[in-house]
Structure 1
Amino acid sequence: MGRTEEFEGLRPLLFSIAYRILGSVSEAEDAVQETWLRWEAAATEPDSAKAYLSSVVTRVSIDVLKSARVRREAYVGPWFPEPLLTDPYQDPERSAELADSLSMAALLLLERLSPLERAVFVLREVFAFGFPEIASAVGRSEAACRQLAVRARRHMDAGRPRFEADRRERDALAERFFDALREGDVDSLRELLAADVSLVGDGGGKTPQLARTVMGADNVARLFASYFPRLVRIDVTWEAGEVNGQPGAVFRDRDGRVLTAMALDVLDGQIQTIRSVTNPDKLGHMGPVADAWAVTREANEARRPPSDRKN
């Protein structure tokens, strides 16, 4: 097998490692491309292509993350990872763990770790790498990596998100939620939301977004019921599916352009958190992006009586 074939066979794993370290689809793709360039230029053949390439993509991702964290400190409003609809790396024996590690909640928790801790945690806890491989990847001793892993695990366990164990029940609840959203049914929405549910949006200062987090089932239900039927009237559509391994949906305008991605955290038969990403810089990998300002203006016009609307 040639280098190209070996690399392509490992590309899904490399992307999945990079995405969990970086929380960005575009930066993860760039890290994988840089890994290929270094692999192509390497003069010698490593004993294990998987170990070598995983080490390279990890080191590249750590370097990118160090500079990315500085940019995120100046980010306008809440920062969320770029939505990922499908994880290219699949392991049937660990599918639940992989999905949970991909969630918005888990990736936001990883943001609290240092770049080294984050890389060690991802390699060890998510992808089950051995400490000799991890030490090679991050350029630290095995003993140091064990300490980093313990520290990272302690931080993660303190705030580790919990999700609905029964994925069929979770998906059925999400389907009911999006049906109620379409109808603007306040009572049905309220019933599906946890009493202390939170709604948070990431627009990066580039789209209309919530001025603050909306808390409480009644507030969130009324907000949704007042706004989303207007989107239906101007032909905004959405298709429920997984967003970052959890229930969610991608919303599109009448021309099929991406408007927002929404992810739901479900636990104990209710929706605990709703996160919406509208920053156009984070949606381009899913296709052409809608003009959120124009959609909002049109939706606001749609609530007025026809005689009061602009021509």
Structure 2
Amino acid sequence: MSKVEDFEELRPLLFSIAYRILGSVGEAEDAVQETWLRFDGSATRPTSTKAYLSAVVTRISIDVLRSARVRREEYAGPWLPEPLLSDPYQDPARSGELADSVSMAALLLERLSPLERAVFVLREVFAFGFDEVAAAVGRSEAACRQLLVRARRHMEAGRPRFAADRQERQELARRFFDALKDGDVAGLRDLLAADVQLVGDGGGKAPQLAKAVMGAENVARLLGTVFPWLIRIDVSFEPHEINGQPGAIFRDRDGKVLHILALDVLDGQIQTVRAVINPDKLGHLGPVADAWAIDREVKRARRQPN
């Protein structure tokens, strides 16, 4: 096969590696493009194209993540990953593990160093041999085994396991969004864990929560109050899997993307509700709505008598 054919065959894998390290669709796509440029510019063909390209995209992603962490420290409000609707890398035998590894909860574990995250992704998610992992991150196999041990410890301590089967998660999400649409505070409260969190990411570029909202009563009241007003001004939503977990895309009356909601489901309850409204993180989903205009419209509607 030609270089182009080799690369295109591996592109889904390369993107999936980069996205799991970076949590950003745009940065992952840039890392894949940079990988192609380096591959295209190389004078020789590697013995294993897969190993070579995976190593290149991993190193690029590690470098990007190191600089991104500095930027995220200055980010306005909570930082959430860019939502991913579908993972281009498919392996039916390991679909559950792949979905778990791309969840927002997994991507948000900042306690993992860039090297730990890269080693975990290559070894635990994509089952690379330790020799391939070591070559990719530029460390010895022994060092990579230690990095993996630390990464596993962090992941087990900080990441929920989504034990509910897909049908159960979808049914819970259906009930959640029905209650959301109807402003059914009691119905929402029944679906939320007692210590549920609502986290929003506007990045200073869209209306956002000043801080996370905690507790079933507070989250239910906020959601049950705000979303019926959005429905009244013709905001609609469509259920969709977001980062391997149930969620929805919200659109304005013109069909532009307003924001997404993603749900973490564990033990038959919703543990976390995450809203991404920063327009910079939604452009890959389609044309983006003016969230400030929607906010003003909601406020006007609420001031008007029924």
Q: Identify the TM-score tier after normalising by the shorter chain.
A: over 0.9
1:71-82 alignment runs, 5 A limit = 71-82=71-82
Distance 1:186 1:165 in 2: 24
Query: What letter is aligned with 1:260?
Result: H
Query: What is the CA-CA distance between 1:207 and the residue it aligns to?
Result: 1.1
Query: What letter is aligned with 2:187?
Result: S
1:155-304 alignment runs, 5 A limit = 155-304=154-303
Query: What is the CA-CA distance between 1:76 and the residue it aligns to?
Result: 1.1
Question: Deviation above 4 Å: which 4+ runs of structure 1?
Answer: none
Q: Which residue of 2 is the match for residue 154 of structure 1?
A: 153
- Please, which moves more after superposition, 200-209 or 298-307? 298-307
Query: What is the CA-CA distance between 1:8 and the residue it aligns to?
Result: 0.7
Query: What letter is aligned with 2:198?
Result: L
SS at match of 1:303: helix
Query: What is the CA-CA distance between 1:132 and the residue it aligns to?
Result: 0.5
The C-alpha deviation readout for 1:9-49, integer Å capped at 9, x for no partner, is 11000000000111100000000000011111111111111
Query: What is the CA-CA distance between 1:189 and the residue it aligns to?
Result: 0.9
Q: Which residue of 2 is the match for residue 130 of structure 1?
A: 129
Q: Which residue of 2 is the match for residue 70 of structure 1?
A: 70
Identity percentage over the alignment?
A: 77
Query: What letter is aligned with 1:92?
Result: P
Query: What is the CA-CA distance between 1:306 and the residue it aligns to?
Result: 4.7
Query: What is the CA-CA distance between 1:160 and the residue it aligns to?
Result: 2.4
Distance 1:271 1:151 in 2: 28
Contact 1:241–1:247 at 8 Å: present in 2 too? yes
1:43-122 alignment runs, 5 A limit = 43-109=43-109, 111-122=110-121
Query: What is the CA-CA distance between 1:305 and the residue it aligns to?
Result: 3.0
1:3-42 alignment runs, 5 A limit = 3-42=3-42
Distance 1:121 1:71 in 2: 23
Which TM-score applies when normalising by structure 1? 0.96
Query: What letter is aligned with 1:197?
Result: V
Distance 1:130 1:58 in 2: 15
Aligned residues: 306
**Backbone CA RMSD of aligned residues:** 1.1
Unaligned 5+ segments in structure 2 are none
Unaligned 5+ segments in structure 1 are none
Contact 2:236–2:252 at 8 Å: present in 1 too? yes
SS at match of 1:290: coil
SS at match of 2:131: helix
